[in-house]
Structure 1
Amino acid sequence: MTNKNNIPLLPLRGLLVYPSMVMHLDVGRDKSVAAIETAMVEDNEIFLSAQREVSVDEPSTDDIYNIGTVAKIKQMLKLPNGTIRILVEGLYRAQIEDHMENNEFFKVSISELEEEHGDRNEEEALMRSLVEQFEQYIKVSKKVSDETVSSVKDIDIPGRLADIVTSHLPLKIKDKQKVLEIADVPERLKHIIELINNEKEVMNLEKKIGQQVKKSMERTQKEYYLREQMKAIQKELGDKDGKSGEVAELTEKIENANMPERIEAVAKKELGRYEKIPSSSAESSVIRNYIEWLIALPWTEETVDNLDIPHAEDILNADHYGLEKVKERILEYLAVQKLTESIKGPILCLVGPPGVGKTSLARSIARSMNRNFVRASLGGVRDDAEIRGHRRTYVGAMPGRIIQGMKKAETVNPVFLLDEIDKMASDFRGDPSSAMLEVLDPEQNNTFSDHFIEETYDLSNVMFIATANNMNTIPGPLLDRMEVISIAGYTEVEKLHIAKEHLLPKQIKENGLKKSQLQVREDALLKLVRRYTREAGVRGLERQLAAVCRKAAKIIVSEDKKRVVVTEKQLETLLGKPLFRYGQAELEDQVGTATGLAYTSAGGDTLSIEVSLYPGKGKLTLTGKLGDVMKESAQAAFSYIRSRAEELKIDPEFHDKNDIHIHVPEGATPKDGPSAGITMATALVSALTGRPVRKEVGMTGEVTLRGRVLPIGGLKEKSLSAHRAGLTTVIIPKDNEKDLEDIPESIREGLHFIPVDHLDEVLKHALVEEK
């Protein structure tokens, strides 16, 4: 066993030297050159050990394997580029015992690693097996020359044979190092046989893969050749460049469309069909149209929601005055989304008369949330294919309005307005409202299926807002899927504010005027609201303001005036006589006349109900173009009075002696509803008892045969009309007390509300006390 101290160490990068191997090495690192020069001065022996990592330029002792080879330097040659080329011969395996301190190069103390031999016959058998396996490997790899095989066969020393064979195998450094570290010769031979077998399997796999690649290349070349032939044929038929340009363009678009994998697979499959079908075929344009729709639809693109509540509130308030409930609902939605970071899109349904701002409110919601806005009008839609699309088998087939809207939106999370949802019709063509169920159901719309697209589309991130004028015409199942928010209309105060802050500045700008050129006084605006419009919204008001601006523009241009001021008196000069009158309180207490409050499509109004008695046989006559419900209310009031005649101090035989005529003025206007019940009863009692009805009292409520007063709707609008008419007291059903919160504070302060349960209470407050 040989031990050596202070032998220079040469770290090897990416290679390894075994005993009995002769090899050229190029050395360039300063430490390595110093180690070689020292070895040449001493006994020409150097210790060669491989680095663990090839990429390390300045290895430390931990970066070098502990076991290496002691070699003799046979030759040394300095090359022009500064490196040294040496010829070394491996002598024996050795192990580092200790590292010596030396800054110029590595110096180590080593001990020889002696080979351990086993049974000679076993070693002979292993040597033969190794040579045989090596020959087979060479036949497969064809990277080693036949001379190498001959030289290997001549080696009769087991350890040397193992080392020489390993040196010719394309192994990683760590595998070669493992062979170097095995001192037991039989174990080393077995390990190398195993390595060769593994390499042969890898080689066979490489060969198999190579053959498959070759087949694939042959198939690709064949397809290329056939395509070129197809191009030539298409060119002869008149199709100039064939479809290759289109197909390449569509392929690129498909890859850039960020589709889900299943959609992309469908698009590419259809593209393959499109490529094979001649351009002259009708199906070619159908397939192309389908592919383009798949590309155009947003699949993953979305806008980032702006969840800043104060910002959203500022935008909503800037765009719309009033509408507090709707604004509150939107801000609630944003707050919940901010907390949960994920929420299904709500389905809101804004119900209200025309002109109250339902559509513009939806647009403001989109702006406040930083979402794209898209609108689909459903008025007059009577075919369910308008919603779900047509099958592609039909000529001119297209997706439904929902998918069309999503294409326009360009994102998966827009605000989608379904306008006039109450005006959808159904006939023999289909029922579009049923098709809308899947669109508006939060549990189903994540897999919405359009007949044209066929593949499911996710609508769960869309915020749907529907608008309707009349909730009663929306089918029940559809209404059940929506959150209804009623927008009843604007009060006079709100209309004045909207006209002043929004409509007038807008019309001044649109008619080419400047703010300094036109001033409309508040009394003129109030008269404009009351006498020139009758509506719940502000659309008619805007038209009248536009007319005022046009008249002012004409005056400024023709009369060379710098400024026009519109007062209440001048309004008639500009717009003509007032178009409407509104109900006003009676000037004095009257017998047989009561003031009711009505809810109309244009908001609220007062209703004067007159009762006249004349000799007859108890005939009840109703006039004023009354609907069935209103007639039934009159009959109920009449029956109640007959049943309570004595308590009310009325002649029990009055119906045998008198005919009764109930009239509601403005007979050209249709009137219906149960809320005039107590008003009719009060007017009847007043006429029969001769007690006048208080001039300052208005009333609303349904009456039963037993005299109970039932709740009604539209209390806000009715209260506004009472305030406008100059009434000071309003009798309402007890159950409507909760609705007083919706009435503006300025109106509540000017009216005294009296909640009642029974008609006796109504009469007590409505009729003048007997002297």
Structure 2
Amino acid sequence: MTESNFLHIPLLPLRGLIVFPGMVIHLDVGREKSIESLEKAMMNDQHIFLSAQKESAIEDPEKEDIQVVGSVAKVNQMLKLPNGTMRVLVEGLYRAEIKKFINAEKQFFVEINPLEDSHQKPTEEDALRRALLEQFEHYSKVSKKITKDTVATVMDIEDPSRFADIVASHIALKMSDKQDVLETRDVAKRLRKLLEIISNEQEVLELERKIGQRVKKSMEETQKEYYLREQMKAIQKELGEKDGRTGELQALREKLEEKALPERIQEVVEKELNRYERVPQSSAESSVIRNYIDWLLTLPWQEETEDNLNIHHAENVLNADHYGLEKVKERVLEYLAVQQLTNSLKGPILCLVGPPGVGKTSLARSVARAIDRHFVRISLGGVRDEAEIRGHRRTYVGAMPGRIIQGMKKAETINPVFLLDEIDKMSNDFRGDPSSAMLEVLDPEQNNTYSDHYLEETYDLSKVMFVATANNLATIPRPLLDRMEVISIAGYTELEKLNIAKQHLLTKQLKENGLKKGQLQIRDEALIKLIRVYTREAGVRGLERQLAAVCRKAAKIIVSSEKQRVVVTAKQLETILGKPIFRYGLMESENQIGAATGLAYTAAGGDILSIEVSLAKGKGKLTLTGKLGDVMKESAQAAFSYIRSRAAELKIEPDFHEKFDIHIHVPEGATPKDGPSAGITMATALISALTGRPVRKEVGMTGEITLRGRVLPIGGLKEKTLSAHRAGITTIIMPADNKKDLDDIPDSVREGLTFIPVDHLDTVLEYALLEENDESK
């Protein structure tokens, strides 16, 4: 046939299939146009043009979707199947190319030009045919998909062109390779292409065989799924693919593009992703790198919430959540005011110090709510490993960042309110000193470049508002304490507890116990009694538990007796809660010789302390009882020495210490007592006993004494004053240096008391002692 010999012929587009000249194959045809083309071909000379679609997914192809080069084939058989499709047997005749598409509504029709083979060197073609035959024989043995009959048939073909086409039809090729072979008119070139393709296929099949053997050896009797997974891993390893992590790496890279990271962190993540791509999945390092990438991508680096700088809003939130605690609230409002003016303030580092139950943790949560920041809390109680704070090196198995970085991940922003709970409970051992690791975290000048051992990259903590809580400042190392702004929450006064119970605790317990607001009423006098004799604490946890007990009793009464309202008075409280648990001190009913009333400050607030002195004939032995601590014993010794040095001025026999044994006792001997503020009380009680002058019953006193009789300042004046007021004392003798603390005392308490500031014991005696046998004053 000549190239100018154009033919008009029906077209049958093939999906995922190419028919070579000399190839006989069954086809199933289902598309309407394709069936029409077949019927048209059967009506003429049974010839049809077979050409592959470029994309097999296209249902209704246009001319640009069909390959130009195809094969002219003869339809030998045609059978209509029950499902409407046609099964045909076709035989490829010769190559041809489409010159023109002829529009036809019902079937495809084209004008084609037959393509003749090109022969350059017959001897080279023969040599290539022999080489290809040898490779094909070897391929058939490895493939196991080609029968011996097929090999025998191929061996009998002498024509190099037809031989090449038949070989191409029997080996597994990509559609692009098959089309390339079909379009190659030069027979020698076609043979060379097939020789190259079949050589590569042989290598792949050989590798498959080796992989199958390797997997089979490594497995014993495992499930089929495990076998397939192992085989897949082995295949990917031999082919040098990415350990099945292509999708995973793509997802990580997309996350990296979406995440706003600093430039240096971006570079680190990209470098680690490249490492992760190269490291085998079975390697232990693979999981280490993956965890590291996850941490870098999930940590907040630049995400920041906008502060609500409205001072009035913050004040309302703090007041709604907590009664009292004015100093802390004032400090937060100051921070907001300065930030509003400067817009570039570093996060403050506050340390709330106070007894358990005073609301330190809940206050930090309220601060976060007041300024619209995220809140995160970590507990440092019992932390004794430095790695808990700074993180582990990535060389360790199970390494992870420290608690600070973990907290920042939970916070999801770089400016949360970060609560370091129980910072005084950290301790150290052979694993390091975690409190030293906290120095960088809590230093405003350093924490913008905080270094975690796991991250190995600096992290900015300067915008974090750190709030630490502690029960005892004495156990916090000085360098760490120096970095924080300490705000003491000494505990709640009786008046504050009353308001907290009414405004917060009772409302909460009513809700938790299923009571409505009007179903239970607790009178104020009942609440005060509950606070005084059923709880003894600086905070309000015990108070809340007792209120919960009252609510449960009320709920039982309402359900069992169908009462709609329960009113609790002070008299009924004992019926509901049982006998009082605690007692509070009351002032003496009459003036006493050798007994003075001191004011004490305990973890549960203030209390009064009665100090008694008795004299007996002896040789000057000084006995101290009442479970006194070392500081309190030293105060007694100082008072004793002062009295000996001033015996003449005090009208005491100079040799009293040789004639009398002196016994000082502080009642409630089972309760440990310590502190310097009982110094003037002990001295007054001693002088009263030695001189016979009574101590005024309405006077309470507090202050430390020196050997020269000077009165030094003390702490806890507010709590001591409240206990004195509760006990009925009307006059309080206090150190002159404590006058500044009077502002902290509520006006309602201060109005009923007389405060006498003193700086020397002589002044104390002037106000505290009556003249001998004088009871009229």
How many Å apart are 1:559 and its aligned residue? 2.1
Matched residue, 2:296: 294
Instruction: Determine which of 557, 560, 583 is the counterpart of 2:559.
Output: 557
What secondary structure is seen at the aligned counterpart in 1 of 2:339? helix
Matched residue, 1:251: 253
Matched residue, 1:691: 693
Find out whether 1:422 has 2:421 as its counterpart: no
| Structure 1 CA distance for aligned equivalents of residues 749 and 398 of structure 2 | 58
Deviations 1:92-151 (A, max 9, x none): xxxxxxxxxxxxxxxxxxxxxxxxxxxxxxxxxxxxxxxxxxxxxxxxxxxxxxxxxxxx
| Structure 1 CA distance for aligned equivalents of residues 354 and 342 of structure 2 | 32
Deviations 1:298-347 (A, max 9, x none): 01111100001111111111111111111111100000000001101110
Matched residue, 1:589: 591
Which runs of 5 or more structure 1 residues have no equivalent in the other structure?
1-225
Give the letter for the 1:281 counterpart.
Answer: S
Instruction: Determine which of 521, 546, 557 is the counterpart of 1:544.
Output: 546
Alignment of 1:242-391 (within 5 A): 242-391=244-393
Matched residue, 1:435: 437
Matched residue, 1:758: 760
What secondary structure is seen at the aligned counterpart in 2 of 1:626? coil
Matched residue, 1:499: 501
| Structure 2 CA distance for aligned equivalents of residues 270 and 558 of structure 1 | 69
| Contact 1:415/1:465 (<8 A) preserved | yes
How many Å apart are 1:235 and its aligned residue? 6.0
Moved over 3 A (4+): 229-235, 237-241
Find out whether 1:523 has 2:530 as its counterpart: no
How many Å apart are 1:236 and its aligned residue? 2.8
| Contact 1:235/1:242 (<8 A) preserved | no
Deviations 1:680-711 (A, max 9, x none): 00000111111110011000001111111111
Matched residue, 1:59: none
Instruction: Determine which of 407, 411, 423 is the counterpart of 2:413.
Output: 411
Deviations 1:644-703 (A, max 9, x none): 111111111211111000000111111111110000000001111111100110000011
Give the letter for the 2:438 counterpart.
Answer: M
| Structure 2 CA distance for aligned equivalents of residues 750 and 348 of structure 1 | 36
| Structure 1 CA distance for aligned equivalents of residues 295 and 264 of structure 2 | 15
Matched residue, 1:168: none
Matched residue, 2:743: 741
| Structure 2 CA distance for aligned equivalents of residues 257 and 662 of structure 1 | 72
Find out whether 1:234 has 2:233 as its counterpart: yes
Deviations 1:504-526 (A, max 9, x none): 00000011111111111111100
Matched residue, 2:42: none
| Contact 1:611/1:660 (<8 A) preserved | yes
- The count of residues paired between Structure 1 and Structure 2 equals 545
How many Å apart are 1:237 and its aligned residue? 6.2
Matched residue, 1:151: none
| Structure 2 CA distance for aligned equivalents of residues 714 and 524 of structure 1 | 27
Matched residue, 1:568: 570
| Structure 2 CA distance for aligned equivalents of residues 256 and 385 of structure 1 | 32
Matched residue, 1:4: none
| Contact 1:234/1:240 (<8 A) preserved | no
Larger deviation, residues 575-584 vs 241-250 = 241-250
How many Å apart are 1:743 and its aligned residue? 1.4
Matched residue, 2:65: none
Alignment of 1:83-102 (within 5 A): none
What secondary structure is seen at the aligned counterpart in 1 of 2:649? coil
CA RMSD of aligned residues (A): 1.8
Give the letter for the 2:561 counterpart.
Answer: E
| Contact 1:307/1:334 (<8 A) preserved | yes
Give the letter for the 1:287 counterpart.
Answer: I
Give the letter for the 2:233 counterpart.
Answer: Q
Matched residue, 1:133: none
| Structure 1 CA distance for aligned equivalents of residues 406 and 699 of structure 2 | 55
How many Å apart are 1:560 and its aligned residue? 2.0
| Contact 2:408/2:414 (<8 A) preserved | yes
| Structure 2 CA distance for aligned equivalents of residues 575 and 479 of structure 1 | 43
| Structure 1 CA distance for aligned equivalents of residues 387 and 725 of structure 2 | 49
Larger deviation, residues 249-258 vs 455-464 = 249-258
Larger deviation, residues 293-302 vs 744-753 = 744-753
| Structure 1 CA distance for aligned equivalents of residues 444 and 242 of structure 2 | 50
Instruction: Determine which of 388, 392, 395 is the counterpart of 1:393.
Output: 395
| Contact 2:249/2:277 (<8 A) preserved | yes
Give the letter for the 1:696 counterpart.
Answer: E
| Structure 1 CA distance for aligned equivalents of residues 524 and 731 of structure 2 | 27
Matched residue, 2:453: 451
Deviations 1:174-222 (A, max 9, x none): xxxxxxxxxxxxxxxxxxxxxxxxxxxxxxxxxxxxxxxxxxxxxxxxx
Give the letter for the 1:458 counterpart.
Answer: D
| Structure 2 CA distance for aligned equivalents of residues 509 and 542 of structure 1 | 13
Find out whether 1:723 has 2:725 as its counterpart: yes
Instruction: Determine which of 533, 536, 545 is the counterpart of 2:535.
Output: 533
Matched residue, 2:614: 612
| Contact 2:242/2:278 (<8 A) preserved | no
Give the letter for the 1:508 counterpart.
Answer: L
How many Å apart are 1:641 and its aligned residue? 0.7
How many Å apart are 1:734 and its aligned residue? 0.8
| Contact 2:242/2:277 (<8 A) preserved | no
| Structure 2 CA distance for aligned equivalents of residues 445 and 664 of structure 1 | 50
| Contact 2:623/2:662 (<8 A) preserved | yes
| Contact 1:235/1:241 (<8 A) preserved | no
| Contact 1:691/1:767 (<8 A) preserved | yes
Larger deviation, residues 557-566 vs 580-589 = 557-566
Deviations 1:389-446 (A, max 9, x none): 0011111111101000000000000000000101100111110010000000000000
| Structure 2 CA distance for aligned equivalents of residues 555 and 711 of structure 1 | 52
TM-score (norm 2): 0.69
How many Å apart are 1:233 and its aligned residue? 6.7
| Contact 2:236/2:244 (<8 A) preserved | no
How many Å apart are 1:717 and its aligned residue? 1.0
| Contact 1:733/1:757 (<8 A) preserved | yes
Relative distance call for 1:426 and 1:241 in structure 2 (3 A) is closer
| Structure 1 CA distance for aligned equivalents of residues 590 and 650 of structure 2 | 23
Give the letter for the 1:397 counterpart.
Answer: A
Deviations 1:431-462 (A, max 9, x none): 00100000000000000010111110000000
Alignment of 1:40-189 (within 5 A): none
TM-score (norm 1): 0.69
How many Å apart are 1:240 and its aligned residue? 11
| Structure 2 CA distance for aligned equivalents of residues 241 and 677 of structure 1 | 79
Deviations 1:14-41 (A, max 9, x none): xxxxxxxxxxxxxxxxxxxxxxxxxxxx
How many Å apart are 1:769 and its aligned residue? 3.1
